Structure 1
Amino acid sequence: MAEEDSIPLVDRPIEMGLTGPTTTVFLVGVMAGSGTLVIPKALSDAGWSGILIILAMAAASTYTAILLGRCLTILRSRHVEYHGHIRGPYPAIGQAAFGKVCRCLITVCVDFSSFGTCVAYLLLIAENIGFLVARFGFDMPYYYWLLAVVLVLCPLCWFGSPKDFTFIGVIAAVATGVACVIILSQMAIDAQRVPPAIHGPVLLKPFLMAFGTICLGFGGHPAIPTILVDMKHPEKYVTSITPAFLIVVLIYLPLSLVGFLVYGSNLNPNVLLTITPGPAIFTVQILMSVHLLTGFVLLLNPVCQEGEDLLNIPHQFGLRRVLFRTALLALTFIIAIAIPNFGVILAFLGGSTVTALVFILPPVLYLRLCAMTGTWDKIDIPLHEKVLCVEIIVVGGLAGATATFSAVEALVSG
C-alpha cells in the first residue's frame, strides 16, 4: 500500500480541528527543539559521516511517521470507538495490533521519552537564561532558574490537547526559524574571527552517543499521533508530515555543517555557548528559550493525557487536571535537579525509547495490522515495502542499543 487513501476511511472532518499547515507547524515545533542546539555537537562527534546519519535518519523517520498515520487510519476504519478524539492514540494502535500488553509497553515508552525530553528541555532553558543574565552581572544557581521556568510552564500545561493551544505550535516554529537565521549569520561572522577549526579523530563512544542525539532530533513520534487525531481532515496526514520533516532537515543540516566547519571539535553540547556572545546571540537565547518552553508543553501533553486517562480525570478543564499536571511539572523539576546533564539524557533517550518509538514500533505495528484478518478489507503490502520495514527495524534496533549502552556508561561514570 503506497497511498494513504487506499485504506477505507471513516473519519469525518473535525470542526475545531487542526488544518494541514497548522499540523505541519505543530510537528516542526515538537521536533526542532533541543535538536537545533545539540545536533551541531553530535555532527562534530560523528565526523563527516554525521551528515549521512542526519539524512538517513530524516528519511527513515519521515517514513515511519507516515506509517503511524496509516496505522491510525486503519485503527479508525476498523473500530468505531476510535472515530472521535482518542486519548493515547499510539498505545491504542498497539492494543489493536497486539493486545493490552503492547499498549502498556508503548505507554511506558511514550511517557518515558516525552517526560525525559521535557527534563532536558528544562535544563537547556535554565542554562540559556542563566548564561544570558550572567552577561549583565546577575548570577544565580541554575536550580533557581529551573524553578522559575516551571512556574511559567504551569498554566500553559493546563490546556487539554493540541487543538486547544494552536498558538503554542506557531510560536515554537516561528521562534526556531528566526533563531536559526540569526545563528547562521553569527557563525558566518565568527568564521572570520575564530582560529581555524580543528577536527579531531572520531571516537567510538561519542560517535554512538551522537547517533542517539540525532535520533532524538527527529523523534517527535510520541506526540505525532496525538497531533494527527486533532486534524480536521486526518486522511491528509502525509501532506502535513512530509513538509514538517523537510523543514526540520533544512534547520538541522545548515546549522550542523556550518558549526562543524567553523568551530570543529570546540563545539559545546549547547551550540549557543560556543558562538561569540553579543546582541545577536542574546536574541537567539531568548527565542530558543521561548521555543523550548512551547516545545515542553507539546511533549508533555501525551504524558498528561495518558495519566488522566489512567486516573479517570475528566476531559474538561478542572481542578483535578490542574493538580495532576502541576504534580508532573514538579517531578520534572526534581529529576532535573538530580541529573543536570542534558547531553547524556538526550543521548540515552534517543538510543532507547525514542529509537523504539521511531524505528521499531511503527513498522512492526503496521505490518501486524495489515496482516490481521477480519470483517475489514485485506491490505496487501508490496514486497519492497516489507523489506524496507524489516531493514529499518534491524538497523535502528542495533544502532539504538549501542547508543543506549554508551549513554548509560557515560551516565554511570558521572
Structure 2
Amino acid sequence: MEIPETAGLLQNEKGHVPPGHAAHGLTVLTTAVFAVGEMAGSGVLALPKALVTTGWTGVAINIVCAAASAYTGMILGKCWLMVQNRYVEYQTNTRYPYPAIGFVTYGKAGRMLVSASINLTLFGVAVVFLLLASQNLQHLVSDAGHDFSFCYWLLIVAAALLPTTWLGTPKDFWPIAVGATVATSIACVIIVANVAVDSVDLPPAFKPELDAKNFFMAFGTICFAFGGHPGFPTFQADMKQPEKFGKAIFLAYSILLLMYLPVAISGYIAYGVNASDNILENLSSGPMHYLVDVLITLHLFFGFVIVLNPVCQEVEEIVGIPPHFTFKRILSRTAIMLLVLFIAESIPHFGAILSLIGGSTTTLLAYILPPIFYLKLCSMKGDWEEETPSLMTKVLLAEIMLVGTVAGVASTYAAVDALATSSFSTPCYISTRHAGD
C-alpha cells in the first residue's frame, strides 16, 4: 500500500512557525492515542458478534478495513495540509477542518454534507457511549446487591460527564485520551483471559451459516470500529507538526488491530452463535468481569468527551462563540449534552444502531469522501505547487470508493431493515421499568 508523503507541503521558514504548526500541540504519539481513544470502546465489544455473522472471513474484513481506513485517514490528512498550504485563512484558528476541506473542494454543498455526516456520526456515538457506560454501572451496582433503574443511571452519568465537555480542544485534554487508550488496552487483555477461562466449561460453540443480511450488518459494525475519520482533521489541526499525521494514523491502526483481533477471535471461538452484541454480557461473573466493566466504563467516559468535542466546536463556530473559555461555551455544550441525554432516554437500546452508523455516515466519511476530496484538490489549478497522484494511487482510491459504496449501501439497508422489525424499549420518561428488560 502506498503511504502518502505529507512532508514538504508546509516548508519551515527560518525563525517562523510554519503554517498550521502549533508551538504547544499534540505529538505523533498523543495524536495516535487520541485516534485510538476515539475508535476503541463500543466497537471492540461488538466485534465478536460481527465475526459470528461473517465467519472467518471477518478476520480478513477487519484487516482490510483497518488498512483501507488507515490509508484514507492519511489521504484526509494530506488534504488538510494541501488546504492549509493554499489558503491563508485556514492556517490558524480552524476549529472544524473536515468541513473546511469540503468547502474548498465543493463549496457550500461539500461543507454541509461533511458537517451533517460528522455530526450525525459523532452525536450517535456519544449516545451509544452514554448508554453503554450507564449499562455497565447498573450491572456493577446490581451485582453488589443494589438495584437501581438504568434510566436514572443515564441522568447520573450525564451529570458527571457534563463538566468535562466544557474543555476546549483536544490539546486541552490529552490525558483523557491516554486514559481511554490505556483502559481499553488492559480491558482487552482481561476479556481474552476471561473468555479463555469460560471456554474450559463451555460446549463447542455452534457457528451459524452465513446470511447476507447479517453479513452486511456485521460489515457496518466493523466499519464503525475503524471509522475515526470525523475527528482526524481536528486532531491533526492541534498537532505540533501536522505533516506527521500519517505516522500517527499508522501507529493508531496498528494498536487497534492488536486490541481488536484477539477479542473478536476468542469471543467467536468460545461463544459462537451465543455471542452478544456486547461481549461483556457473555463473560462469566467474577473479579475479571468486574474489572473489565470498570475499565470499559472509564474508556466510555473518556471517549464520550473526545467524540462530542468536534460537534460542540462546530456548533460554537456557527453561532459565533469565541474559542476561549466563556459562559457561552458552558451554555451551548450543556444544551448539546441535554439533547444527547434526551435521545438516550428515548431509545435506551443500541442494537443495530452501530451497524446503521457504520454502514452510512462512517462509510461516507472514511471510504468515499477522502478520495473524492483528494482527487479534486489535485485537479484544482492555482498559484500553488500542483499535486499529481500516480496511476496506482488513483486505482487504489477508486477501488476503495467502489467497495465502500456497495458495502455501505448494503449494510445501511440491512441495519434499517433490522431496526424497522425490532422492538424497542419504552422511553425512560414514559416507563419507570429498567431499559432493555
> Which stretches of structure 1, 4 residues or more, deviate above 2 A after TM superposition?
6-13
Deviation at 1:15, TM superposition (A): 1.6
Q: Is the 8 A contact 2:20 2:237 kept in 1?
A: no
Question: Which of 345, 348, 355 is 1:347 aligned to?
Answer: 355
Cα distance in 1 for residues equivalent to 2:286 and 2:93: 47
1:324 aligns with 2:332: yes
> Where do residues 11-410 of structure 1 align in structure 2 (5 Å cutoff)?
11=19, 13-410=21-418
Contact 2:33 / 2:177 at 8 angstroms: preserved in 1? yes
* Corresponding residue to 2:7 among 5, 11, 19: 5
Shift of 1:339: 1.9
2-structure distance, mates of 1:233, 1:43: 38
Shift of 1:69: 0.6
The residue type paired with residue 283 of structure 1 is L
Q: What is the CA–CA distance in structure 1 between the aligned matches of 2:4 and 2:321, rounded to whole Å?
A: 39
- When residues 12 and 111 of structure 1 are mapped into structure 2, their CA distance, relative to the original with a 3 A threshold, is closer
Counterpart-to-counterpart distance in 2, 1:12 and 1:286: 38
The amino acid of 1:5's aligned partner reads A
Following TM superposition, by how much is the alpha carbon of 1:11 offset from its aligned partner in structure 2, in angstroms? 2.9
Equivalences, count: 414
Which TM-score applies when normalising by structure 1?
0.98
1:2, 1:384 → 2: CA distance?
Answer: 12
Partner of 2:313, secondary structure, is helix
Shift of 1:2: 4.0
Instruction: Summarize deviations over 1:316-350 as a string: whole Å, max 9, x none.
Output: 11111111111111111111122223131111000
Distance 1:42 1:222 in 2: 23
For residues 11 and 244 of structure 1, what CA distance do their matches in structure 2 show?
25
Q: Look up the equivalent residue of 2:395 and give its one-letter code.
A: V
Distance 1:255 1:202 in 2: 21
Whole-angstrom CA distance in 1 between matches of 2:421 and 2:4: 47
1:8, distance to aligned residue in structure 2 (A): 4.5
Larger deviation, residues 281-290 vs 132-141:
132-141
Question: Deviations along 1:170-213, whole A, 9 cap, x unmatched?
Answer: 10011011111111111111121222211111222221111111
Per-residue deviation, 1:125 = 1.0
**RMSD over equivalenced CA pairs, Å:** 1.2
Give the drift of 1:35: 1.0
1:6, distance to aligned residue in structure 2 (A) = 4.8
Give the CA deviation at 1:400. 0.5
Alpha-carbon distance in structure 2 between the residues aligned to 1:336 and 1:72: 34
What secondary structure sits across from 1:351 in the alignment?
A: helix
One-letter code aligned to 1:25: V
For 2:133 and 2:209, the matched residues in 1 are separated by 31
Local SS of the residue matching 2:230:
coil
Contact 1:27/1:244 (8 A) holds in 2: yes
Given that 1:11 and 1:235 are in contact with CA atoms closer than 8 Å, whether structure 2 keeps it comes out as: no
SS at 1:155 equivalent: helix
Shift of 1:64: 0.4
Q: CA deviation at 1:87?
A: 1.2
Gaps of 5+ in 2: 12-17, 423-437
Distance 1:126 1:278 in 2: 20
1:358 is matched by which residue type in structure 2?
A
Unmatched 5+ residue regions in structure 1? none
CA distance in 2, matches of 1:148, 1:69: 38
Contact 1:11-1:234 at 8 Å conserved across structures: no
Rounded to whole Å, the distance in 1 between the matches of 2:142 and 2:207 is 30
Partners in 1 of 2:215 and 2:52 — Cα distance? Answer: 9
| Of 108-117 and 330-339, the range deviating more from structure 2 | 330-339
Cα distance in 2 between the residues matched to 1:2 and 1:302: 25
The 2-side partners of 1:106 and 1:31 are apart by: 19
Share of identical aligned residues, percent?
A: 46
**For residues 118 and 399 of structure 1, what CA distance do their matches in structure 2 show?**
24
Is the 1:197–1:263 contact (alpha carbons within 8 Å) kept by the matching residues of 2?
yes
Equivalents in 1 of 2:20, 2:414: separation in Å? 46
Equivalents in 2 of 1:27, 1:2: separation in Å? 18
Shift, 1:7, TM fit: 3.1
Aligned residue for 2:166, secondary structure, equals coil
User: Following the alignment from structure 1 to structure 2, what is the Cα–Cα distance between the partners of residues 265 and 309?
Assistant: 47
CA distance in structure 1 between the partners assigned to 2:50 and 2:90 by the alignment:
40
Partner deviation per Cα, 1:5-62 (whole Å, 9 max, x = no partner): 2534443641220111111111110111211211111111211111111011001000
In the alignment, the residues of structure 2 paired with residue 188 and residue 310 of structure 1 have an alpha-carbon distance, to the nearest angstrom, of 50
Per-residue CA distance 1:78-115 (angstroms, 9 max, x = gap): 01111123111000011111111110110000000000
Q: Secondary structure at the match of 2:351?
A: helix
TM-score by length of 2: 0.93
Residue 381 of structure 2 aligns to a residue whose secondary structure is: coil
